[in-house]
Structure formats: structure tokens, C-alpha cells
């Protein structure tokens, strides 16, 4: 009996070690969108998303912090009873130079932009394995990475009709960021992606009311390192604000993210998992006179809820834009 118990414990220890060393068994079975990370970052759009822009060059600098966790519900069964948990923290700097054309295109205002990312990611994962004899073993693995993320070029068109404003856009994920398939912390997603969508902004300068909403779809291509392909993702970002003066606005923001088709590919060993998450929070914005240039400072935060097959937590966006 004692010998059998020792053999069972050794098997559990080996299985636990393989889980933490590979990363794939630990993360993918619990989370859709390959480890719970999607190309689209919910909350990217907010208030004034479809409002007209000033022609010429501008630069947006965004500090983005997120602290997602997948401790609750991130479990699967393989041989014994296995529980996996993920905690992550990211501090990213997003630089978004853009140019707005003065000549109309299809009766609207055309613009192009490119997003680049630099930052630091910390991630840790823990696992507990219960063997046939009832004994349990636990271990923790952590990882830290500082570097550049993927790039995302974007093109958009905007139309204005009084207080009504409309926008359509297309953007792509270019996998040039720091990424390794077996690593917990990554600043890239390891595959190409294409995202298209449209938005609307109601802006009444006289009353100071503003309401914006942007919806889009992401088509993901297969990750060549893992043979994993995320499903088609749907996202919806919104923002509502009230101008207290010509410079100051306050309001609320939110988003909904839902994977409408399941994951696929040889790497999706648990089949077509799908993810979702919702977020809501406050915002404040201030327009800064800067001589011939214009400045805009915005702070918004989201608390997530209702997640499925995806980490859940909170995130904050601090944006400073200069229009030259």
C-alpha cells in the first residue's frame, strides 16, 4: 500500500512539472482566445470616437495598465483533478501617430494611423494536482518580460451631419512583438489578425451632450508556432459624457467582448472554446490650449465582470493627444 502511494505521488509530481514547464496544458484548456489574450483590446475606443478631427498630424500617447486574473473557474480534468490559475499585470506605453487628410474621400474625412507598443508584462500561474490516492501537489511558475509589442496600422473614414457623426475603420495586427509559444508573459500574440467595424457619435455642442458607440469584428489567422486559431471575435465599445465647460467633460465608459465562433486548429485540443467579458467605469477629459497646437487629456477605467473562458480584472487608460 505504501509503495503504491509513493508511485502515485511520483506520477502526480511528474504531471505537475510537465504542466508548469509546458505552459500549453496549463493555460489553453481553461481559456479561449489562446490563453485568454485577443488582438482587440476592449476599451480602445471611447467618447468622441466618430467625431470630426482636425486635418494634419497628431500624436496620441497612452499609458495602459491591466491586472487580469483567471483563478476562478479556470479548471479542467486530465487523469486527476487539476486546477490552474493565472495572474497577470501589464504596464504598456502605446504610441499612435496619425494623419488626417484635408481632401474628402467618398464624401468623408480620411485618416491613417499606426499603433506601436512598448511595456512590461508580469505573469504567474499555479496548479494543484490531486492524484488517485487523494494526495495533492502544488507548484507556481512566474515570468516577466520587457520589450515591444505587435504593431497595428489603421485606416478610417468619418462623416458629419450636424449632431450626428459616423465612422468606419479597418485595422490589422502585425505579429512583430516579443512572443514565444512556451512563455507565460508575452507582448505579442504570435499571429496575424484583421479587424473591421464602424461607429457613431452624437455630439450636441450647445447642450454639451455626447454619446459614442463602436462595434467591430476580428478575424484571426492561425498561430504558426502552436497551430492554434482563435475564433471570430465581436467587440462593442461605448462612451457617454457631459461637457461641464468647453474644456472639461465627465462621463462613463464601457465595453462588451464576445467570441462568436469557437477556437480551432490542431492546437485547440479542447475544441471550440469561446470567451466573453464586460467592463464599465468612469472617465474624465480635459482639452488643453497649447498655442497653435491642441492638447487633450483623458483618464478612464474599467472594472470587468461576466467573463467566460477569459481572465477578468480591471484596467486603466491615460491618454494624452497633441494635434499639431
Percent of the chain with pLDDT strictly greater than 70: 81
Residue 125's CB is within 10 A of a number of other CB atoms, namely 23
Environment class of residue 55 by beta-carbon count within 10 Å: exposed (0-12), middle (13-18) or buried (19+)?
A: middle
pLDDT of residue 26: 39
Write down the domain spans for the chain: 39-73+86-126+143-323
Mapped onto helix, strand or coil, the DSSP state of residue 230 is: coil
- Give me the chain's average pLDDT, please: 85
Lookup result for grid cell 489567422:
221
Place 101 in a pLDDT band, splitting at 50, 70 and 90. very high
Q: Is residue 134 packed enough to be buried (19+ CB in 10 Å), middle (13-18) or exposed (0-12)?
A: exposed
Helix H or strand E encompassing 99 = strand 80-100
What average pLDDT does range 7-24 have in this prediction?
A: 38
H or E stretch covering 27: helix 24-27
* pLDDT the model gives residue 138: 56
Alpha-helical regions (H) of 97-222: none
pLDDT digits (tens, 9 = 90+) for 247-297: 999 999 999 999 999 999 888 777 788 999 999 999 999 999 888 889 999
Copy the grid coordinates of residue 209: 451632450
- What is the separation of C-alpha 54 from the centre of its chain, rounded to a whole number of angstroms? 28
**Superfamily designation of domain 39-73+86-126+143-323:** Autotransporter beta-domain (2.40.128.130)
Distance (Å) of CA 101 to CA 60, 152, 190, 236, 324: 17, 19, 33, 27, 13
Tens-place pLDDT, residues 56-80: 999 999 999 999 887 644 543 222 3
Residue 9 is predicted with a pLDDT of 40
pLDDT band at 19 (very low <50, low <70, confident <90, very high): very low
- Residues 140 and 163: their CA atoms lie apart, in Å, by 54
User: Is 50 exceeded by the pLDDT of residue 209?
Assistant: yes
DSSP calls for 158-170: EEEETTEEEEEEE
Amino acid at each position: 500500500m505504501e509503495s503504491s502511494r509513493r508511485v502515485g505521488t511520483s506520477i502526480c509530481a511528474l504531471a505537475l512539472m510537465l504542466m508548469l514547464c509546458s505552459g500549453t496544458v496549463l493555460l489553453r484548456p481553461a481559456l479561449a482566445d489562446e490563453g485568454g489574450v485577443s488582438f482587440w483590446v476592449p476599451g480602445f475606443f471611447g467618447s468622441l470616437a466618430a467625431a470630426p478631427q482636425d486635418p494634419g498630424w497628431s500624436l496620441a500617447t497612452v499609458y495602459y495598465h491591466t491586472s487580469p486574473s483567471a483563478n476562478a473557474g479556470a479548471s479542467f480534468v486530465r487523469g486527476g483533478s487539476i486546477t490552474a490559475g493565472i495572474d497577470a499585470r501589464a504596464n504598456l506605453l502605446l504610441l499612435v501617430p496619425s494623419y488626417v487628410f484635408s481632401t474628402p474621400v467618398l464624401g468623408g474625412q480620411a485618416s491613417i494611423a499606426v499603433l506601436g507598443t512598448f511595456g512590461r508584462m508580469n505573469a504567474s500561474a499555479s496548479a494543484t494536482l490531486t492524484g488517485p490516492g487523494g494526495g495533492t501537489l502544488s507548484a507556481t511558475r512566474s515570468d516577466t518580460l520587457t520589450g515591444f509589442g505587435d504593431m497595428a496600422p489603421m485606416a478610417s473614414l468619418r462623416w458629419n451631419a450636424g449632431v450626428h457623426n459616423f465612422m468606419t475603420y479597418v485595422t490589422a495586427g502585425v505579429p512583430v512583438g516579443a512572443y514565444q509559444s512556451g512563455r507565460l508573459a508575452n507582448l505579442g500574440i504570435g499571429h496575424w489578425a484583421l479587424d473591421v467595424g464602424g461607429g457613431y457619435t452624437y455630439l450636441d455642442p450647445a447642450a454639451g451632450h455626447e454619446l459614442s458607440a463602436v462595434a467591430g469584428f476580428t478575424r484571426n489567422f492561425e498561430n504558426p508556432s502552436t497551430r492554434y486559431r482563435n475564433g471570430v471575435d465581436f467587440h462593442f465599445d461605448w462612451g457617454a459624457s457631459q461637457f461641464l465647460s468647453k474644456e472639461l467633460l465627465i462621463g462613463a465608459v464601457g465595453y462588451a467582448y464576445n467570441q462568436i465562433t469557437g477556437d480551432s486548429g490542431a492546437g485547440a485540443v479542447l475544441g471550440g472554446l469561446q470567451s466573453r467579458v464586460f467592463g464599465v467605469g468612469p472617465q474624465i477629459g480635459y482639452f488643453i490650449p497649447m498655442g497653435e497646437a491642441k492638447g487633450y487629456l483623458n483618464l478612464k477605467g474599467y472594472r470587468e465582470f461576466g467573463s467566460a473562458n477569459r481572465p477578468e480584472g480591471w484596467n486603466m487608460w491615460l491618454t494624452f493627444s497633441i494635434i499639431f
